[in-house]
Chains A and B, each alone.
Chain A
Amino acid sequence: MSATRDITIGLAERSVKLIPRMPSTFVPSLIMPIFLVVSFSGAFAGLTQLPGFPADKMIDWVFPMTTLQGCAFAGVTTAMAIARDLDNGFYDRLIGSPAPRISLMLGPLLASVIRGMIPLTILLIVAVIGGANFNGGFPGLGMLVICAMSISFIAGCWGLGLAFRAKTQQIAPLMQMGLFTVFFLSTAQMPIQLLTGWIHQVARFNPITNVLQMARQVSLPAGVTWATTWPGFVSLAGMAAVLGLFAYRGLLKIVD
């Protein structure tokens, strides 16, 4: 058990140390959400005038979404590093070692969560500078932090599942496109009651919609309520279970 813990921590530490050593692999995933919060808040400011729009300022609506996106990209960039390790043979040496198999997956996932704290912190600072309201107070902030850490973990599972199967860095665009698509097929831009047609139906069944609803309690005037919290928890747990299994089965394919 202690071997699993030690190797998990060791691999996570290695992944985190890669950030200052190879900033080019992490910085773009940080810049993109910052840019999106700035541009969406500015470009779509007029949407708040729509009857039924739940935010007074566009930044209140946008920054929880871009924070989660930043955390998701942090998870995916961790998985991209594993894809590179698989590509250059480093991972084969890990498999050849007596390390507990599960730690080869838990290490990168722990790193995903730790790396996710960076966009979370920076985007919160951007939100404060941008004049966002924090109507949910500390409980709302807690909801955002839970969602952010969970999404980092879930995105890490998604990325690792793909990396273990493809064993090449060329899988990276699919990792990113998958995340991008699932976010924008939710209530990323508009609340569910203002979505019409096919996207309304897709967003209704997209678990990210529930997670965004939970995370947005930090800024929206309604504050934190159980009715908007529990669907988020269920969605996070469901995605973590499904994608965790996806990653684990991928790991089994390469170690067997």
Chain B
Amino acid sequence: MTAIVLEHYAALSRRSIMNIVRQPIAIIPSLTFPLLFLALNSSALARAIELPGFPPVDSFLQFMISSTIIQGALFGSIAAGSDMAKDIEGGFFDRLIATPVSRSSILVGRLAGSFVLGFVQAFIFFGVASLFGLNVAGGLLGMVGVALIGATIAAGVGAISVAIALRTGSTEAVQGSFPLIFVFLFLSSAFFPRSLMHGWFKSVATLNPLSHMIEAARHQVIYGWDTSQWLTGISIAGAILVGGVVASSFALRARLAEKV
């Protein structure tokens, strides 16, 4: 990889991150919605931790925090696709590809923004929850581990939303895909332990990779640092990232072919 390509990566990543910094209003929903869910569920379901079979937690807050981080990462990652669609709609994408910029940097720049946002958001969520008595058994290492899982899934889902943006060129289409993410999250063990589910819902939650990723992150918070659990979580997030990058690369190639 040449130095000039690395420069392109850095420039477009910086642009993507600066977009977030300059428009903090755009990330408010991805911060406030998960925090609202966290506040409501932690209070409303506080007694649920007394159920036999519930993981040994101090509070429902300790159970929920990992789901909140993943939820925030998923919500925020849609911005990558929306921004790409806006670039296409506004003509910036056409101007960009008219330059000799490295094609892969168009994707890398967007995904870097999602990754950084996912990582920073995780620490904001940890910070807010700590004010309400959250104890992370894994300590700082556990928090970094969970934040890395959150950042990786943010980049992965960001890549999928970029693929949708490149295929459709429409902000509405990207935002319309948001409920699908919501469905995957609700059909997982994000809000309740699998050990207390039964029937078809438990089967679906078990098949849903998000369940295993969230449980791996949750393990660091409830039981302490566990490398094998963390590797499970980061592998699932990494696999989604690889899938997203492949999908967005094909979509980018198809869009560039249209322009030739």
Binding site for B on A (CB under 8 A): 28, 31-32, 35, 39, 41-47, 49-50, 181, 184-185, 188-190, 194-199
Contact = CB atoms under 8 A, between A and B. Distances in A.
A218 to B, nearest CB: 22
15 contacts: A32-B179, A42-B199, A43-B192, A43-B197, A44-B45, A46-B48, A46-B192, A46-B193, A49-B52, A188-B44, A189-B40, A189-B44, A194-B47, A195-B44, A198-B43
A189 to B, nearest CB: 4
Given A195-B43, A195-B44, 8 more contacts: A45-B197, A46-B51, A46-B197, A184-B40, A189-B40, A189-B41, A194-B47, A197-B46
Contacts of B95: none
Contacts of A195: 43-44, 46-47
A44 B187 CA distance: 11
Given A35-B183, A39-B187, A46 B43 contact: no
B191 A43 contact: yes
Contacts of B53: 46
Nearest to A28: B179
Chain B interface size band reads 20 to 34
B30 to A, nearest CB: 14
Interface of B: 36, 40-41, 43-48, 50-54, 179, 183, 186-187, 189, 191-193, 196-202, 204-205
Shortest 3 CB-CB contacts between residues of A and residues of B: A42-B201, A46-B196, A199-B43
Contacts of B54: 46
A42 B196 CA distance: 10
Dominant SS among interface residues on chain A: helix
A41 B192 CA distance: 12
Nearest to B201: A42
A165 to B, nearest CB: 21
Nearest to B196: A46
A190 B50 CA distance: 14
Contact of B47 (A42, A181, A184, A196): A196
Contacts of B200: 42
A27 to B, nearest CB: 11
Nearest to B32: A177
B46 A196 contact: yes
Given A45-B198, A46-B53, A35 B186 contact: yes
A44 B186 CA distance: 11
Given A28-B179, A185-B40, A190 B199 contact: no
Contact of B45 (A32, A35, A45, A190): A190
Contacts of B197: 42-43, 45-46
A45 B47 contact: no
A190 B202 CA distance: 21
Contacts of B183: 35
Contacts of A31: 179
Contacts of B179: 28, 31-32
A185 to B, nearest CB: 7
Contacts of B199: 42, 45
A50 B44 contact: no
Given A39-B186, A39-B187, A43-B197, A199 B44 contact: yes
A50 B46 contact: no
Contacts of A199: 40, 43-44
A199 B40 CA distance: 8
A197 B198 contact: no
Most buried by A among B48, B191, B200: B48
A50 B47 contact: yes
B192 A184 contact: no
B13 to A, nearest CB: 30
B205 to A, nearest CB: 8
A196 B49 CA distance: 13
A183 to B, nearest CB: 10
A190 B47 contact: yes
A115 to B, nearest CB: 20
Nearest to A193: B47
A44 B192 contact: yes
